[in-house]
Amino acid sequence: MDSFLVGLIGAGIGPSWSPPLHEQEAVHHGLHYVYRLLDTDRVGGDVGELVRTARRFGYDGLNITHPCKQAVIPHLDELSPDARMLGAVNTVVFDGERAIGHNTDWTGFAESFARGLPDAPTRRIVQLGAGGAGAAVAHALLTMGADRITLVDADPARAAALAGELAGRFGAGRARPAGAAELPELLARADGLVHATPTGMAHHPGLPLPAELLHPGLWVADIVYRPLETELLKHARAAGCRTLDGGGMVVFQAVHAFRLFTGREPDAERMFAHLTDLIAV
């Protein structure tokens, strides 16, 4: 029986669904598969130290989540083209002596969006968050044909930097930064709102924007998945918005990571069914 040891590095990751999603899928492939949580809030150490320790102890790979997706890059030997382009890593594969960083967030979000909001208009999108996950999500939306994305981040310089990268990649005018004070005007004219910040996670409860800015003409996508029903999505549904939770992104990201770790082809629909079981517990 083939054996795999993988882990997840991030902060406040105790509630993560990644271990059961991976381990249950591995059962169907006849694999001995162990998935460990390396929570920086509990084990201490920086992401580089954890990557080196995992390599030393024989891990086959790692998933990387908030707040380590960009901080991990200097500690890797190589980046996939997607990870290099996006400047963020959410999956690390140990290949012999080399630690190779990949980004499966953007493809995971793209597949989730196509599955959950297949006919949603994407002329004007407002995105909250321009960090590692935000870079992946914005890239996915523009790759899928969104006309224009406006980026709002707590760090205006980060939003401006990401907008510049996206404009360079997709063309002038496709992405621009904006301040939080512009949200009322932006959302009044927007087709959709994407939330890509930690707000709403178990360790960061709350709303990322005033609920009164939500309206029925807006679809709302949240990449937070623990809890799956975030405060933002609750208020969005109450306002009459179409919504997309973070479950699809986490499943498709897990599909791609499982393939990278094992070389086996996972069954996405089976993993969605397992996610449904996890939610019901």
Residue 86: closest CA among 99, 101, 67 = 101
Q: How many Å apart are CA 148 and CA 139, to the nearest integer?
A: 11
CA torsion sign for 225, 226, 228, 229 is negative
CA distances from 169 to 113, 138, 155, 191, 272 (A): 21, 11, 22, 23, 33
Q: Are 261 and 4 in contact (CB under 8 A)?
A: yes
Q: Are 75 and 22 in contact (CB under 8 A)?
A: no
Does the annotation count 234 as an active-site position? Answer: no
Active-site annotation holder among 22, 66, 69, 148: 69
Residue 29: closest CA among 261, 253, 247, 250 = 261
What's the one-letter identity of residue 147?
Answer: D
Residue whose structure tokens are 């063309």: 171
Annotated catalytic residues are 69
